[in-house]
Each structure stands twice: as C-alpha cells, then as structure tokens.
Amino acid sequence: VKTAILLAAGAANADAAEKILEGTGQKLRPALSEIEGSKGR
C-alpha cells in the first residue's frame, strides 16, 4: 500500500512539475525570441 501511495504521489508531482515547466517555458519563449531577434540585428 505504501508503494502505491508513493507512486501516486510521484505521478502527481511529475504532472505538477511538467505543468510548471510548461508554464515557465511559455513565459521564457517570448524573451528568448527577443534575445535571438536582437542578435540578428
């Protein structure tokens, strides 16, 4: 039973981590594209 709880908690944390990474990635993308654009100029 403990193993199942740990697996469930791990899966929940992985999902949360993925969502956090997606969120920060979406925030960083415009900044990264601006940096790339300024390099090209």
Which pLDDT does position 41 carry in this prediction? 64
**CA distances for 36 relative to 1, 27, 41, angstroms:** 50, 15, 9
Instruction: Indicate the pTM of the whole model.
Output: 0.42
Q: Is the pLDDT of residue 13 over 80?
A: yes
Which pLDDT does position 16 carry in this prediction? 83
Mean pLDDT of the chain: 81
d(C-alpha 20, C-alpha 35), whole Å: 23
Q: Once rounded to an integer, what is the mean pLDDT over residues 17-31?
A: 82
Q: Once rounded to an integer, what is the mean pLDDT over residues 14-36?
A: 82
Transcribe 1-41 into DSSP letters. -HHHHHHHHHHHHHHHHHHHHHHHHHHHHHHHHHHHHHHH-
Q: Is the pLDDT of residue 15 over 70?
A: yes
Q: Is the pLDDT of residue 11 over 80?
A: no
